[in-house]
């Protein structure tokens, strides 16, 4: 097969691309395998076939998959790989542009990065990003080609780190399962007793309000708190609107790189193997996405920095203050996890993100095979205590007096603009700046910016003297991503 | 009650005209439903049968009559007794029904039936069309019914009834009913050129404030109707009456469109722009395929199915119903069997749009079957499942879906019988058992059978103070730049009607914004609804309610 690649499709209409790009319906995997010379431009030398890694992966297979995922995470995707989406927007639902953008790369609407690691690099690959690599989040349906940082077009977001993300997703899955069981229990009782039943929605000690079920199978969602009506905990993104690493990965590949995953942009849903019309079919296979998920899900958990005695004493005092102020009400120190088995695909994704049984790619990653898992403490019930300092719940974080964190103009995926997922504090000592826009340089500032549901704790903090504030700094700055040192 | 469907999406013309769609070029690239026929295991053993008068008919009504939100089915029997089957299916499980033995619902010479809530009480009523007196069965809860012709002042007549539709006009609290009639067997020269008039029944209140349908108005001339449908063809807010007629028996007849407003209905004429179309009209399905507010119609016939799209400019500016047939361009003619060796023309009956693979692209089911022994038409004539594609085409997948049985289909219902978000299928066959296909998941392009397909929504509408189930309401379901519409209607098909949740496929969208244009034209606020849910929208409520079917855990 001969393929003529146009250096840039930027100024060309899709029609011209179609005329001068000879394409076949062979998969990208086959093509890249056939041209996998070391000097080739393709960053993805080998696409993973769907069934290469299935079942419970033993140590070597798991690490092999992680290694491939790490390569993809760091890969600077090229035109040959399928970078660019000349006729598709950044939207999570496959959405056509009316015309190609004038410039494919743009720091605003994207393409805004060459690789995942371009932003997730602080302090190391998989980490956070500073202000310079903020992301401009928009739905991508209307006005998708904004070239302004004006907040009326997008929400500017700082890059989160991904360390411990596998455990975060596992926690969210177990919590979702618990909430669904509560919903089922309320419905079952209401149906049996032919009466209204109200139950608290509490999982792992976190309250998500209450549910009222009626005898005819209806439920009332009015008293839900910090979770969507579907009672699916969505732990990822600053906003808490992404269910899984897999879903986030598929979104991000398209948004940031124009690398479109088959499981959402492929022919099954769009009728074409080249939805973005860049001349490359099937840009990211299910196996590729699985490798990326495996890499992210197995990143080590952040740790606590070994520090000199004076820092340790200050941190201990800060730890006490942390609780006394009430910070721990949302930044819950640790949540218990029942199982370290990470199934990919996960159980709560919807169509457009691969689901169990869809492509014969179901795999289980036993996180206990990873060295870092030995650092996790277990409670008396044998549950692993995940020290994330979060509650995987959304909260209103701004009010009329303290509104700095309510600085967005656009709601996102049905979540109001002043409501955000509690930021997990583990690793915070390695991931400044702070705030969802990454425009706050010190911990003191970001604590003082807490309004809304955090107002009480924040007000107590504001009244602390400098020494006490310093102690809290000492406590928080011990929480690092190990590789920082 | 039928839900009529549409979609609009931003697609640049260049995409369609110029770019190579490699997947589509190789055939249908989406999910194909894997239908599993299980009528007998499900407990439905029923046959529609009879002599010449039962060559047509054979309808089914699906509706919930016991309040569990699982649809029951009432099936015509012709010379056999009709049957009401209670739905005992488990959520997502195999289909299970039990036959109700009440004599009220065991009626001979039934051709078809439609659910309609006539008196706005809690329970759905049933219009039973017959060879002879039509009946209104008043729902009383727990799937009990009573004969209510007298109570509603309804004269069921003695015709050969083969069509029904209902709608709410103006400020009416109660529905206007219309019955389509076929051949007048008692007229001299019957059956050739002896078509009965269709009938219009407007609701009235008696001196004692009792609802009565005693004011029956003939819609003359009748041309041997086999399907009728109140439809807002020109987005005026007022329904007209679309009638499809069988050229086999009328002489000088044609398809009809009645203007209903005013005391006396009148036909749209040549002067109004109505163009003569003479077909073996068997069934009507309506969908607003491009979500522009102007519905398209699939008209089944012998030979090719018509797919009509109105000239919008003529409709808006001149109120002229001028239609173009887009069936061939869209690949929807379904004019001969798609499998087997029989090249003779098909015979189409019930038609229904629905999204059976939840990909946001509307699909079209057509029940097929030779009238009896018409040698000029295909003998083996399997039902069609035309799956919609991203470029607006329909691609036949009935064989792959497993519905290509050697039976003579008549009426049908595309309906979710086990509350799993997947559209099952019931087909009433002439002189053969009913086919009941459970939607067993999807055959994905990779050849795997997957239990999960695209995302979906099921929506129930309710309003107070009359027209309880919001007949005439329009749903606008927005996901990204895609807008789909559904309209709540009663009528059409081939003597088969439905009531219950309105199904919408969402593809890869996890959530949707839903707006309702209530029957009086008022638009609701936008409701934010999560995918894969049964959503309850009640007029005036600020939030969407959700319903969960019972499962092993609840």
Per-residue pLDDT at A4 exceeds 80: no
Q: Which of residues 387-406 of A touch B (CB under 8 A)?
A: none
Would you place residue B553 in the very low, low, confident or very high pLDDT band (cuts 50, 70, 90)? low
Please tell me if residue B478 touches chain A, with a CB cutoff of 8 Å.
Answer: no
Instruction: Band the pLDDT of A34: cuts 50, 70, 90.
Output: low
Residues B220, B195: contact at Cβ < 8 Å?
no
Strands B60-63 and B497-498: parallel
- Residue A140 clears pLDDT 80, i.e. is over it: yes
Which of A49, A48, A31 lies closest to A40, judged by CA?
Answer: A31
Residues 421-480 (A) with a CB less than 8 A from some CB of B? none
Q: Which of residues 57-96 of B touch A (CB under 8 A)?
A: 67-69
Q: State whether residue B25 sits within 8 Å of chain A by CB.
A: yes
What mean pLDDT comes out for the span A69-81? Answer: 97
Say yes or no for a CB contact (<8 Å) between B543 and A221.
yes
pLDDT value for A324: 97
CB of A26 within 8 Å of any CB in chain B?
A: no
Kindly indicate the confidence band of residue B445, based on its pLDDT and cuts at 50, 70 and 90: low
Residues A230-289 pLDDT 10s: 999 999 999 999 999 999 999 999 999 999 999 999 999 999 999 999 999 999 999 999
Kind plus residue range of the DSSP H or E element containing B113: strand B110-116
Choosing among 1.20.1600.10, 1.25.60.10, 3.30.365.10, 1.10.760.10, the CATH entry for A303-338+383-480 is 1.10.760.10
Span A376-424, pLDDT tens digits: 999 999 999 999 999 999 999 999 999 999 888 888 888 888 999 999 9
Can you give the pLDDT at residue A416? Answer: 85
- Contact criterion met (CB < 8 Å) for A219 and B455: no
**Burial state string for A161-170 with b = 16 or more CB within 10 A and e = fewer than 16:** bbbbbbbbbb
Residue B488 to residue B474: CA distance in whole angstroms = 6
Residues of A in contact with B451 (CB under 8 A): 357
In angstroms, rounded to a whole number, what is the distance separating the alpha carbons of residues B7 and B512?
14
Please report the pLDDT score of residue B446 as a whole number.
Answer: 63
What is residue A11's predicted lDDT score, i.e. its pLDDT? 35
ipTM: 0.92
Q: Is the dihedral of CA A23, A27, A31, A34 positive or negative?
A: negative
Query: What distance in Å separates the CA atoms of residue B554 and residue B35, rounded to the nearest whole number?
Result: 27
Average pLDDT rounded to a whole number, residues A309-321? 98
pLDDT-based confidence at A351, cuts 50/70/90? very high
Count of Cβ atoms closer than 10 Å to residue B181 Cβ: 25
Mean pLDDT of B421-450: 89
Q: What's residue B5's pLDDT?
A: 43
**Residue B554 has what pLDDT?**
57
Chain B residues lying within 8 Å of A196, measured CB to CB: none
| pLDDT, tens digit, 9 for 90 and up, residues B197-209 | 999 999 999 989 9
Residue B333 has which token pair?
A: 């003619």
Is a pLDDT exceeding 70 seen at residue A17? no
Tokens 């083996």, residue located: B380
Mark yes or no for CB contact A274/B22 under 8 Å.
Answer: yes
Task: Say how many CA atoms lie within 13 Å of B211 toward its Cβ.
Answer: 20
Residues B219-265 pLDDT 10s: 999 999 999 999 999 999 999 999 999 999 999 999 999 999 878 99
Chain B nearest C-alpha distance from A158 (Å): 24
Residue B453 contacts residue B85 (beta carbons within 8 Å): no
Mean pLDDT score, A6-31: 38
CA distance B433 to chain A (A): 34
pLDDT of residue A23 exceeding 50, the answer is no
**pLDDT confidence tier of residue A111, bands split at 50, 70 and 90:** very high
3-state DSSP assignment of residue B242:
strand
Question: What does the alpha-carbon distance between residue A149 and residue A137 come to, in Å, rounded to a whole number?
Answer: 10
Decide if pLDDT at A355 tops 50.
yes
A427/chain B closest Cα distance in angstroms: 31
| Alpha-carbon gap: A297 to the closest alpha carbon of chain B (Å) | 23
Strand order in the sheet with B97-100: B97-100, B83-87, B72-75, B60-63, B497-498
User: Which tens digit of pLDDT belongs to each residue from B506-527?
Assistant: 999 999 999 999 999 999 999 9
**Could you tell me what percent of chain B has a pLDDT over 70?**
94
Task: With CB atoms and an 8 Å threshold, state whether B20 touches A23.
Answer: yes
- pLDDT at position A202 is 98
Task: Return the residue in A16, A272, A285 with the most chain B beta carbons within 10 A, the one to mutate for interface testing.
Answer: A272
Domain boundaries defined on chain A: 9-31+43-160+241-297, 166-220, 303-338+383-480
Q: What is the pLDDT of residue A463?
A: 97
A267 touches chain B (CB under 8 A): yes
Measured CA to CA, the distance from residue A430 to residue B535 in angstroms comes to: 44
Q: In percent, how much of chain B has pLDDT > 90? A: 90
In the prediction, which pLDDT does B551 show?
83
């Amino acid at each position: 097969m001969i393929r003529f690649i146009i250096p840039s499709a930027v100024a060309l209409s899709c029609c011209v691309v179609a005329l001068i790009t000879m394409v076949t319906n062979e998969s990208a995997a086959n093509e890249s395998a056939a041209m996998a010379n070391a000097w080739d431009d393709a960053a993805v030398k080998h696409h993973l076939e769907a069934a290469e890694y299935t079942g419970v992966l033993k140590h070597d297979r798991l690490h092999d998959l992680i290694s491939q995922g790490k390569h993809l995470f760091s890969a600077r995707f090229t035109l040959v790989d399928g970078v660019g989406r000349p006729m598709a927007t950044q939207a999570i639902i496959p959405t056509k542009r009316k015309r190609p953008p004038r410039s494919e790369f743009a720091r605003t609407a994207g393409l805004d990065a060459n690789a995942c690691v371009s932003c997730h690099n602080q302090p190391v690959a998989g980490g956070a990003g500073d202000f310079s690599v903020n992301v401009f989040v928009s739905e991508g349906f209307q006005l998708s080609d904004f070239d302004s940082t004006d907040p009326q077009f997008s929400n500017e977001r700082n890059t989160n780190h991904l360390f411990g993300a596998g455990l975060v997703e596992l926690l969210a899955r177990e919590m979702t399962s618990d909430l669904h069981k509560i919903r089922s229990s309320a419905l079952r009782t209401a149906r049996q007793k032919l009466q209204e039943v109200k139950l608290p929605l509490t999982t792992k000690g976190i309250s998500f309000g209450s549910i009222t079920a009626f005898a005819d199978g209806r439920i009332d969602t009015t008293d839900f708190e910090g979770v969507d009506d579907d009672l699916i905990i969505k732990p990822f993104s600053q906003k808490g609107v992404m269910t899984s690493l897999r879903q986030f990965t598929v979104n991000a590949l398209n948004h940031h790189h124009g690398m479109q995953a088959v499981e959402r942009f492929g022919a099954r849903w769009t009728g074409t193997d080249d939805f973005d019309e860049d001349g490359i079919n099937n840009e990211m296979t299910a196996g590729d996405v699985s490798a990326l998920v495996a890499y992210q899900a197995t990143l080590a958990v952040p740790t606590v920095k070994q520090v000199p005695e004076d820092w340790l004493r200050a941190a201990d005092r800060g730890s006490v203050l942390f609780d006394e102020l009430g910070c721990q009400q949302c930044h819950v120190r640790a949540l218990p996890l029942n199982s370290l088995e990470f199934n990919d695909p996960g159980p709560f994704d919807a169509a457009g993100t691969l689901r169990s049984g869809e492509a014969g790619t179901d795999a289980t990653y036993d996180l206990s095979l990873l060295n870092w898992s030995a650092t996790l403490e277990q409670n008396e019930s044998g549950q692993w205590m995940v020290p994330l300092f979060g509650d995987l719940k959304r909260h209103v974080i701004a009010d009329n007096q303290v509104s700095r964190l309510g600085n967005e103009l656009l709601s996102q995926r049905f979540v109001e603009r002043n409501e955000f997922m509690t930021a997990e504090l583990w690793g915070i000592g390695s991931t400044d700046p702070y705030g969802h826009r990454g425009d706050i340089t010190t911990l003191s500032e970001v604590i003082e910016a807490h309004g809304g549901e955090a107002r009480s704790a924040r007000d107590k903090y504001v009244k602390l003297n400098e020494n006490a504030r310093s102690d809290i700094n000492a406590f928080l700055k011990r929480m690092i991503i190990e590789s920082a040192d | 009650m039928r839900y009529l469907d549409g979609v609009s999406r931003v697609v640049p013309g260049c995409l369609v005209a110029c770019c190579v769609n490699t997947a589509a070029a190789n055939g249908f690239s989406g999910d194909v439903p894997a239908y599993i026929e299980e009528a007998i295991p499900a407990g439905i053993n029923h046959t529609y049968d009879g002599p010449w008068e039962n060559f047509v008919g054979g309808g089914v009504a699906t509706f919930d009559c016991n309040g569990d939100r699982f649809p029951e089915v009432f099936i015509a029997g012709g010379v056999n007794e009709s049957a009401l089957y209670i739905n005992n299916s488990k959520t997502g499980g195999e289909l299970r029904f039990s036959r109700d033995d009440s004599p009220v619902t065991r009626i001979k010479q039934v051709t078809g039936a439609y659910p309609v809530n006539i008196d706005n009480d809690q329970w759905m009523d049933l219009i039973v069309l017959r060879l002879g007196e039509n009946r209104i069965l008043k729902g009383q809860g727990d799937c009990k019914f009573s004969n209510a012709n007298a109570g509603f002042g309804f004269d069921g007549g003695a015709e050969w009834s083969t069509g029904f539709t209902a709608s709410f006009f103006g400020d009416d609290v109660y529905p206007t009913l219309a019955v389509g009639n076929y051949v007048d067997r008692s007229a001299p020269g019957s059956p050739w050129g002896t078509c009965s008039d269709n009938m219009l029944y407007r609701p009235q209140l008696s001196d004692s404030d009792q609802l009565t349908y005693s004011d029956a108005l003939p819609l003359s001339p009748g041309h041997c109707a086999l399907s009728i449908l109140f439809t807002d063809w020109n987005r005026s807010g007022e329904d007209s009456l679309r009638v499809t007629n069988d050229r086999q028996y009328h002489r000088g007849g044609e398809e009809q469109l009645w203007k209903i407003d005013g005391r006396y209905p009148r036909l749209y004429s040549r002067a109004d722009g109505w163009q003569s179309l003479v077909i073996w009209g068997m069934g009507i399905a309506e969908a607003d395929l491009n979500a522009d507010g102007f519905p398209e119609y699939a008209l089944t016939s012998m030979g090719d199915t018509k797919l009509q799209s109105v000239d919008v400019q003529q409709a808006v500016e001149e109120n002229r119903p001028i239609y173009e047939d887009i069936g061939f361009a869209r690949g929807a003619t379904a004019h001969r069997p798609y499998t087997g060796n029989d090249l003779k023309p098909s015979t189409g009956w019930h038609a229904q749009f629905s999204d059976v693979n939840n990909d946001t692209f509307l699909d079209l089911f057509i029940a097929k079957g030779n009238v009896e022994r018409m040698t000029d038409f295909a003998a083996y004539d399997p039902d069609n499942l035309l799956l919609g594609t991203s470029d607006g085409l329909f691609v036949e997948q009935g064989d792959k879906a497993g519905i290509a049985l050697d039976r003579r289909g008549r009426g049908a219902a595309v309906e979710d019988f086990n509350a799993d978000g997947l559209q099952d299928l019931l087909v009433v066959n002439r002189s053969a058992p009913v086919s009941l296909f459970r939607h067993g998941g999807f055959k994905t392009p990779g050849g795997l059978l997957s239990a999960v397909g695209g995302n979906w929504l099921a929506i129930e509408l309710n309003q107070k103070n009359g027209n309880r189930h919001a007949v005439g309401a329009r749903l606008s379901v927005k996901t990204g730049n895609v807008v789909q519409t559904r309209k709540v209607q009663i009528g059409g098909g081939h003597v088969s009607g439905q009531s219950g949740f309105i199904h919408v496929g969402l593809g890869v969208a996890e959530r949707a914004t839903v707006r309702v244009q209530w029957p009086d034209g008022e638009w609701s606020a936008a409701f934010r609804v999560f995918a894969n849910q049964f959503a309850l929208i009640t007029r005036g409520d600020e939030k969407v309610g959700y319903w969960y079917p019972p499962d092993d855990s609840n």
